[in-house]
Structure 1
């Protein structure tokens, strides 16, 4: 069964955030946006309550995953969770933790079983989950845990932020900035780059991906005058990658890596820490960028924004990034389409 014949599994995320309403908004835009069919893993009562709160008429149908495509155009397909969710927009509640995790678990299980083409996730917040006993560092790491359990071997997840003009990968992710120099190693950079190059080739259809490797320090260390990590850690990693035949270049000063002419010279920028990768990605395409997890035995995409508790339930949340995530998930499941062109291709 191909990705075009089955639906995408969309997990609700933290129900106190904007997940329910952007899912509703995406479904309502299904014709205008030419969306592939998806089903929402959620509490149908909460989805209906949120729609009433927003003042929108959304027919909801409870289905099994394999029935979603046939009902998608007439009603929002919802696969009911086993637990009920509390509708408290803007007020995160640890009581929702079990349902939030159940939605993720079942979306992954559906995808691995061939009942869903890809996993698409609405945003979660870590603190309510931690308060309920959740111990994974973040969404990406939890997905890797599920994948590792499925295949019986360790999985290394790689976060890719993909937008119309830029793709970025943070080599270190959810750790304090002070920990980055201590946890950054040549081996970690090489492993991250290998996974990135492999998935860009096999899922995005880029025959020979060009990797720009950012420096850690200002001016990429400037010959050791502003830190030695660039020469001691990053440069050997780049040399090792090039020896393997991977088109890698660096370490490159991050402050000149993201303007238009620079972006035209690479397919992805590997950055040394979270904000070095996410700030330019979100600055260029906050409403269009997609979070893709590479290195998994299934396809996972997500909006690049968070739960937005401050606007939850107010009817002003935009679904653009979720719509982009749904489209990209469908495209990647379709067999190696290059869903997001590089800047050089856009200019042709």
Structure 2
């Protein structure tokens, strides 16, 4: 079983969930459970018109939302609280072995924090809910995969977090994930943090002092790690097949290239947790929420990736 959380009820999450589930085969649908609000789903169904009956045609854990359905396209603390509760319920189900992977629809960080749930997004929330100090984000597409050493922090903080130990652990986590997906010896590139990897110290020494030792230690452990490699070339080299994964040092360094080449198809995967989670790689799209026009292709990609992970977990 996989579990799909609706995300922010005022966003496009309910619509893309219904569309993706409606497109499933009967067998796939039988292995799917939605975590969300029935009234919200009914309001979304009124605009997408899939014919799907949540709770009848697909399993539903109904988590009521006060005053549901909330208006689509408007930031609301009630929606932020609901998004948190949907995820929390799915996490507990995953911990109990009732579902093999969680697929999350997008939430709104401002609404989440307005409701008193102070997280920087799904990844931090999932780490807290499962008692982990840190979780990692990998953005995966067919030709480019990127794992982030840090994500939702300032650029100044990201540089401070690019320590040898942190980068080494990120390499290890990415290596194990790709091995789980069937790659025996993943080729991992570490992106430099300074222009030209510091150009021999002219533009900073972090690459030589902090990143290079992490690569050396990873190689000593038998990991096929390379770098640091200048950030302006490493993603192109990975995209053309030289590497299976790039370790990005900060949020935008990894997000910009993946969104350039796979904006509608990349899947967000959380690593380093005792449970599995995938997600769409887009936001709540308040500007089109409730209009029935949101594309569910990215949700289908996240679900397909989740099924791969769930199958791997069984074995």
- Same fold by TM-score, threshold 0.5 exceeded? yes
Q: Is 1:173 matched up with 2:167? A: no
Contact persistence 1:111–1:118 (CA under 8 A): yes
Task: State the shift of 1:136 in Å.
Answer: 2.2
1:235 correspondence with 2:212: yes
1:318-333 equivalences in 2 (<5 Å): 318-333=295-310
2: CA distance, partners of 1:263 / 1:109: 40
CA shift, 1:31, in A, is 3.9
* Equivalent residues in 2 for 1:219-230, closer than 5 Å: 219-230=196-207
Which runs of structure 2 are paired with 1:216-295 in the superposition (5 Å)? 216-259=193-236, 263-295=240-272
Contact 2:127 2:273 in 1 (8 A): yes
Q: Which stretches of structure 1, 4 residues or more, deviate above 4 A after TM superposition?
A: none
* 1:77 CA displacement: 3.2
Q: Is 1:302 the equivalent of 2:279?
A: yes
Contact kept in structure 1, 2:149 and 2:166, CA below 8 Å: yes
Counterpart Cα distance in 2 of 1:131 and 1:259:
39
Residue 35 (structure 2) pairs with residue 60 (structure 1) = no
Matches within 5 A, 1:1-348: 7-31=1-25, 37-52=31-46, 54-62=47-55, 75-84=57-66, 85-148=68-131, 154-201=132-179, 203-259=180-236, 263-335=240-312
CA gap 1:8/1:55 in 2 versus in 1, 3 angstroms:
closer
Q: Secondary structure at the match of 1:101?
A: helix
Moved more, 95-104 or 288-297: 95-104
Q: How far has the Cα of 1:138 moved from its partner? A: 2.1
Matched-pair contact (CA < 8 Å) for 1:205–1:336: no
Q: CA deviation at 1:303?
A: 0.5
Q: Would the aligned equivalents of 2:19 and 2:48 in 1 still touch at CA under 8 Å?
A: no
The CA deviation string for residues 239-283 of structure 1, in whole angstroms up to 9 with x for no partner, is: 111122111100101111222676411110001101111111111
Give the C-alpha shift of residue 106 in structure 1. Answer: 0.9
Report deviation, 1:160: 0.6
Query: Following TM superposition, by how much is the alpha carbon of 1:223 offset from its aligned partner in structure 2, in angstroms?
Result: 1.2
Partners of 2:45 and 2:52 within 8 A in 1:
no
TM-superposed CA distance for 1:226, in Å, is: 1.6
Contact 1:155 1:295 in 2 (8 A): no
Structure 2 unaligned blocks of 5 or more: none
Deviation, 1:199, is 2.0
The offset of 1:183, in angstroms, is 2.4
C-alpha distance in 2, partners of 1:335/1:325? 15
Question: Post-superposition shift, 1:307?
Answer: 1.1
Residue 60 of structure 2 aligns to a residue whose secondary structure is strand
SS of the counterpart of 1:119? strand
- The TM-score, its normalising length taken from structure 1, stands at 0.85
Where 1:164 maps in the other structure, the secondary structure is coil
- Residue 231 of structure 1 and its aligned partner are, at CA, apart by 1.1
Give, in whole Å, the separation in 1 of the partners of 2:29 and 2:253.
32
Alignment coverage as a number of residue pairs: 313
Q: Given that residues 10 and 121 in structure 1 are in contact (C-alpha distance below 8 angstroms), is that contact kept between their aligned partners in structure 2?
A: yes
- Across the aligned residues of Structure 1 and Structure 2, the Cα RMSD in angstroms comes to 2.1
Q: Which runs of 5+ in 1 are unaligned?
A: 1-6, 63-70, 149-153, 338-348
> Tell me, what secondary structure is at the counterpart of 1:60?
coil
Task: Give the structure-2-normalised TM-score.
Answer: 0.93
- The structure-2 alpha-carbon separation of the partners of 1:250 and 1:55, relative to structure 1 and needing over 3 Å to count, comes to closer
Tell me the alpha carbon deviations over residues 280-316 of structure 1, each in whole angstroms, 9 at most, x when there is no partner.
1111111111001111111110011111112211222
